[in-house]
Amino acid sequence: SSADLDCDVVVLGAGPGGYSAAFRAADLGLKVVLVERYSTLGGVCLNVGCIPSKALLHTAAVLEEAQSLAAHGIKFGEPSIDLDALRAHKDGVVSKLTNGLAGMAKARKVTVVTGSGQFVDPHHLQVETKDGIQTIKFASAIIAAGSQSVKLPFLPDDPRVVDSTGALQLASVPKRMLIVGGGIIGLEMGTVYSALGARLDVVEMLSGLMPGADRDLVKVWEKMNAERFDHIMLETKTVDAKADKDGIWVTFEGKNAPSEPQCYDLVLQAVGRAPNGGRIGAEHAGVQVTERGFIEVDRQMRTNVSHIHAIGDIVGQPMLAHKAVHEGHVAAEVIAGKKSFFDARVIPSVAYTDPEIAWVGITEDEARKEGVKVDKGLFPWAASGRAIANGRDEGFTKLLFDAETGRILGGGIVGTHAGDLIGEVVLAIEMGADAVDIGKTIHPHPTLGESIGMAAEVAHGSCTDLP
């Protein structure tokens, strides 16, 4: 067949999974083509996900911390907010990273083809570029086409109804904002808009916000954040919405539903993400896609077609960038002939709210449900010199150990910088550490990270008092 490009590996999608796979494959000496429909590399995470949201969350945290200094005797005036400048700052952060990726692709001689790709048979991909169709012949392929946000069918097509991508555009700051779906993405965006002055409502079908995290962690966040919300509607759902001149009128149903429709200036739908498996012509390559659009893979990230791998959001939960990156490395290494496997024991989760909530491994809820006997070590930050000095001692660090062996099985942290702290717990689980290993590791004082050593000492029954 005639192909415009011939390569060892084609990677479809340039998100964290795709670019990591492409770079690793190139580093291992393979000829790589990376296909991306957007003009920049980085996928959801860099362009409209992890990175822009964290840029805005940092601004929000500094803004609120500055205001909190009144208690230290230092007062700033009312903040004046220039949304255009804030948006430009966020866009600058994103382009710094996406340009960096383009440079890294070039340095590795990865050929980037910009356009939408579809499989046409098990060894060819067709890309619709702005200069016409390009055909790429490949020996192996890595599908990294990611996911997109789920749209609720009854929400009106209106600029005041947005998904996370729309919310990150920061068109204006609403007076009243409804967050549909009380998960990480919804609550992170809510944190940003609240810091900029919006009042929040949140509606969640389940019985608690931030599903997946232990309730004791979430409770600390709830207490600190209660004042941002007018209504927290749990076990409730939106059933209808109408766009009117004065706002979007939303009707609710369920346990905590207001009897009347409520009016909002902005409605954010954050009810989850759906994989793009059904949109890439997978059937032409013989790759099986589930009804929901996921692609099933083995521990070498192989699909049912052995020379075609899949990674990232498209292969399933948790839909997180760091999972996609690791899967990308495995797929590339396997194609390069290495015996690599995705064998991570655990994948950490972080909500970059204020305070942050981070957890990894078994949760207390899961331990209870599954009948796993665990010992718990909990260190309240009210006893941490650093947290007190920071004026943020509401948090705590919790570790869960196998009651029989003492091995660490899980951990949760709520507090400022929890996401940066959880890495140590992840490492401890991967290394099979026990409470003594962690408790006898000397952590620098005074740091928040010390709380991990303290929690281990609590579990081990040899708590020392260190202010």
Question: Of the two residues 42 and 439, which places its CB atom closer to ligand FAD in the complex?
Answer: 42
Give min distance, CB of 76 to ligand FAD, in A.
Answer: 29
Are 194 and 228 within 8 A, CB to CB?
yes
Residues in touch with ligand FAD (CB under 6 A): 12-18, 35-38, 43-45, 49-50, 53, 116-117, 144-147, 164, 185, 276, 279-280, 312-314, 319-322, 324, 352
CB atoms near residue 219 (< 10 Å): 12
Give min distance, CB of 135 to ligand FAD, in A.
Answer: 14
From the candidates 72, 123, 326, 445, give the one annotated as an active-site residue: 445
Are 145 and 314 within 8 A, CB to CB?
yes
Question: Of the two residues 418 and 433, which places its CB atom closer to ligand FAD in the complex?
Answer: 418
Tokens 């929901």 found at: 292
Give min distance, CB of 144 to ligand FAD, in A.
Answer: 5
Q: Which ranges in 153-277 belong to alpha helices (H)?
A: 164-169, 184-195, 215-225
Give min distance, CB of 350 to ligand FAD, in A.
Answer: 7
Are 372 and 359 within 8 A, CB to CB?
no
In angstroms, rounded to a whole number, what is the distance separating the alpha carbons of residues 264 and 229? 13
Question: Of the two residues 53 and 236, which places its CB atom closer to ligand FAD in the complex?
Answer: 53
Question: Of the two residues 33 and 336, which places its CB atom closer to ligand FAD in the complex?
Answer: 33
Question: Of the two residues 50 and 248, which places its CB atom closer to ligand FAD in the complex?
Answer: 50
* Residues ≥6 apart with Cβ < 8 Å to 144: 11, 12, 13, 14, 15, 17, 18, 21, 43, 310, 311, 312, 314, 324, 328
Are 59 and 170 within 8 A, CB to CB?
no
Cα 198 versus chain centre, distance: 23
Cα–Cα distance list, 433 to 192, 405, 455 (Å) = 37, 10, 14
Asked if 322 is an active-site residue, the reply is no
Give min distance, CB of 177 to ligand FAD, in A.
Answer: 15
Are 401 and 461 within 8 A, CB to CB?
no
The residues carrying an active-site annotation are 445
